[in-house]
Structure 1
Amino acid sequence: MKNSSDEAMTPLKQHAVDALRRARKLPVGPHRNDLRQLAMGLRRLDREGIGRNFHHREAGLQGGAEARYPG
C-alpha cells in the first residue's frame, strides 16, 4: 500500500526504508544488524540535511581544484 508521502521521500530516506525492509527479511545476526545500522545512519543524514547540502558543495567544487592548488 502506497500513500502520498512515498512520492515526497528524499533519496536518503528511501534508501533507509529499503535497507530496513531487507533487514526484516533476514534472520537475527550480523548481516541484519549491518543493514539496520546503515538505515539508522541514512535517516540521521537525511534529518540533518546532509544530502541537500552535498549537491551545493559538489557544484562548487567543479573546476575549483585548479584554483585551490595552482600549478
Structure 2
Amino acid sequence: MDPEDIFIWPDGTWRYREECEDLTDRWLGDDFEVLYVGTPEYDEFIFPLREPVEGGPDDEYWPEGD
C-alpha cells in the first residue's frame, strides 16, 4: 500500500490514502474506489491532460535546422 494511492467516492470527493488515516471522525463512507500508484487509471486521474513527452514514440524525427 502506497500512501499516495487515491480513494475516490461516488460524489467525486477524493483523498490520498495517507489522508484517510486521519478521517476517523468524518469518514466519507466505505463506497469508494482505490486507484493504485503506478496503474494507468492512477496516471490518467493525476495527469488527465498531460501532453506527450517531446521525442516520444508519437513524434517523427526531424533533425534540427531542416
What TM-score results when the alignment is normalised by the length of structure 1?
Answer: 0.28
Output the TM-score relative to the length of structure 2: 0.29
CA radius of gyration, larger in: 2
